Structure formats: structure tokens, C-alpha cells
Structure 1
Amino acid sequence: MTNALKSKLAIDQVDATFILYLGGAVTSLFFSLVINKHNVLLKFELSDWWMWASGCIGAFYIFFMFIAFPKLGVSVSILFVFLGQVVLSVVIDHFGLFGMPRHSISVTKAVALALILTGAVLIMYDSQKGV
């Protein structure tokens, strides 16, 4: 949908990312007002700066997907995202980052990560071959 927006409006990745996140922000504010019956923006000052990083990370994600899809293909691009999320989730669990409870990495998790990485390499190899 975002590429269709980009083509229809003849805009670049940065503008399309902005429009995408503006739509998401308006929708989220609507849900906050209707469901929670309060404006979450009033609580902005109570949060730490790093808690807002997920929005920035999301914007970078969308922006770089615009770049990655045509060059790497959708499957390889999404595979890298999945691989990054799995590896980061194991790191967050292991060290108990962001206030999460600690769950140490186990041999099973390490083997699972190795299998996912192997799958990623095979998919990238297949994509490079053009099969």
C-alpha cells in the first residue's frame, strides 16, 4: 500500500514514510481518546526519552523497507527483519533489558537461532541464483 501511495502521489520514501506514520498517529490518538477516554499526549512528560524510540525505530524500518524491497526482494527483506527481531528478543530476554524479566539463553534457543540463520542463508542464496 505504501508503494502505491508513493507512485500515486509521485513522492519519495521520506514523504511516504511521513504520511504513513501521520496516519498511524492520528488513528492511535483516536483510539486513545475513544477507548481510554483521555489524551495520552498529556502524559508525555512522565515518560523517559528512550520510551519514544520505538516510533523512531518504526519510521526507520518503513523507510529502509522502501529501499530494501526493490534491491533485495520482499522475502529477503522481511527475512532480515525477522532474523533481527528474533536475535534482539533473545538478547533482551537474556539480559532483562527494558524492564523485562530475565530468561537466560539456552542450548535450545542457540540451536533455533542457528537454524533460522541457516534458513536465511539458504533463502538469500536461492534469491541470488534467480531460481
Structure 2
Amino acid sequence: MNNTYSYAVIALFAGTILAVMIQLNSQLALLNSPLEASWIAHGLGALFAYFLLQIIKTSRLGASTKEAKNNEKPKWYSYLGGLPGAMTVMLAAITVNSELGLAGTLALALLGQILFSLIVDFLGLFNSPRRKIGWHDAKVISLILTGSMLIIFAGNP
């Protein structure tokens, strides 16, 4: 299997995990609040990430990551990834527990992700290569929007 297919499988698995995370966090938010659910989720996530880091450091995997590092320092905004993550947990916990449900929340979240990533690509934000937006992108967005609306409104007359 070439790398493209391997990455596609990993991305599909990540999407599955994201759906599970959002559903579990929304159930936790029903019992507490979206803010508390975000704190609990990120606290447990930090502990699990620390646990994985220790395993990687003590295994052969740590050797290959050390070799791949260079002396370049990350940009200041590279450290801010947890902020949108916390907001995602809170906002998704609210919307999953609404009429949108899990499927509607994820459909609109996907649309938001793609729209923002097109803006990032077009403007070259966050040190990414610039890419022109074409008619193909507009067609894809319209199909995703149509699919999202079908998911949300088709079952609710």
C-alpha cells in the first residue's frame, strides 16, 4: 500500500475517533456543562499524550523522531492548537445535544473545516503554501453543503 492510501486510512480513522470523542463529550456535557466536559476531556487527553510520549521516548520510535528534528524554532502560533480544540469540544457538546445531533454537527463541522482550510490555502496563512481556489473547489463546497442540509433537514419534515 503506498503512502497516500496509508494516510487516507489514518485520516478516516481519525474522523471516526473524532465522532466518538464528540459523542462522549456531549454526553458528559449533559451531566455537567460544556466547559467542564472540555476540561475533563483535555485533562485526560494530556495525561494520555504524556503516557504515549513516555512510551515513544523509551522505544525505537523516539530515535527516528530525534533524527528528524532540525534547529528551526516553531512559530509562536504553533503552540495555540489546544485553544481551538477546547472550543471544538465545548461547541460540539452544545450542538450534538441540540436538534442537529451528531451527524448534523459533524456535517457542518466538516463544511467549516473545508471552508477555513481553503481560506488558509488561498492566503498562505500559518506558513502554508498558497493555492488558488477554483471552480472545482466551489463545486465541492456546494456538494458538501447540499449533503449537510440533507442530513439535517431530510429526516425532519
TM range (shorter): 0.7 to 0.9
Structure 2 residues not aligned, in runs of 5+: 1-23, 63-72
Instruction: State how many pairs are aligned.
Output: 120
Amino acid at match of 2:134: S
Q: What is the rounded CA distance, in whole Å, between the counterparts of 1:6 and 1:115 in structure 2?
A: 32
Moved over 6 A (4+): none
Offset of 1:113 from its aligned partner?
Answer: 0.9
2:78 is matched with which residue? 51
User: TM-score, with normalisation over the residues of structure 2?
Assistant: 0.65
Q: 1:22: which partner in 2?
A: 43
Q: Which residue of 2 aligns with 1:97?
A: 125
Residue identity (%):
28
Show the counterpart of 1:74.
Answer: 102
- What is the Cα-based RMSD across aligned positions, in Å? 2.3
By how many angstroms is 1:103 displaced? 1.8
Q: Give unpaired runs (5+ residues) of structure 1.
A: 39-45
**Aligned mates of 2:26, 2:97 — CA distance in 1:** 11
In structure 2, relative to structure 1, the CA distance for the partners of 1:75 and 1:66 (3 Å cut) is same
Q: Give 1:42's aligned residue.
A: none
The offset of 1:6, in angstroms, is 5.1
> RCO higher in 1 or 2 (8 Å CA, sep ≥ 6)?
2
